[in-house]
Amino acid sequence: MTKTILITGGGRGIGAATARLAAQQGYAVGVNYRHNAEAARRVVEDIQQAGGRAISIQADVSLESDTKRLFNQVEQSLGSITALVNNAGLLEQQARVDELDAARIQRVFATNVIGSFLCAGEAVRRMSTRYGGQGGSIVNVSSRAAVLGSAGEYVDYAASKGAVDTLTTGLAREVAAERIRVNGVRPGLIETDIHALGGEPGRVARLAAGVPLGRGGTPEEVARAIMWLLSDEAAFVTGAILDVSGGR
């Protein structure tokens, strides 16, 4: 059976690492991006040059119309979606809560929360036996920030990831009888460019000493956890949230 995976925010960081690993494991890969077409194109080219199948699709997952189009395009090009990685995420400049305005909070929650809900809903409508589907698996990418709070940096981002954790728990129970497993990963300090977006490119180096394993993680290490949760090896795992954080 053809395995098709959609990875939102798949052009960079954890998403890109997951796309490449999924292709190595035999998936046809839909690489979603919002702005950076060039980064997504490079991921697709890497997969194709290695003999895999992949396409890139522009879509803003916070918009319902874009999300529907995204899923339709992936299925038309690659076949029925059997796996979704809800990875697209937005983080803004470090700031205290008393420095935030409504517009920023809405931007963060639109992508991180509404986007995750919309994509999960589209996936369920395609995978669920309730709608004639054959089942599937969803992994939501959260963050250890959801537990730690990110005080003085981005509590809004942390709160949005707390909502993603709740989505994981609730949706897993909602669709378990419909042959869909839903799990999450909570990356800790990972060496990606998200820290530069928050205004501190060297954040991992600054905080690495506080990680029990003594270093930041790599996108590939998170990707391996995601792909395990999607795999048949995790067939009895649903509603779980796996910390990939070096112990922090």
Please identify every residue annotated as catalytic.
Answer: 157
Two structure tokens written together for 107: 């931007």
Please tell me what DSSP assigns to residue 198.
T
- Cα dist. 241→102, 158, 191 in Å? 29, 15, 21
Tokens of 43: 């991921």
Complete DSSP assignment for 78-111: H-S--EEEE----------GGG--HHHHHHHHII
Place of tokens 């992994």: 139
The answer to whether residues 23 and 50 touch, using CB atoms and an 8 Å cutoff, is: yes
Cα–Cα distances (Å) from 130 to 64, 78, 134, 169, in that order, read 22, 23, 9, 20
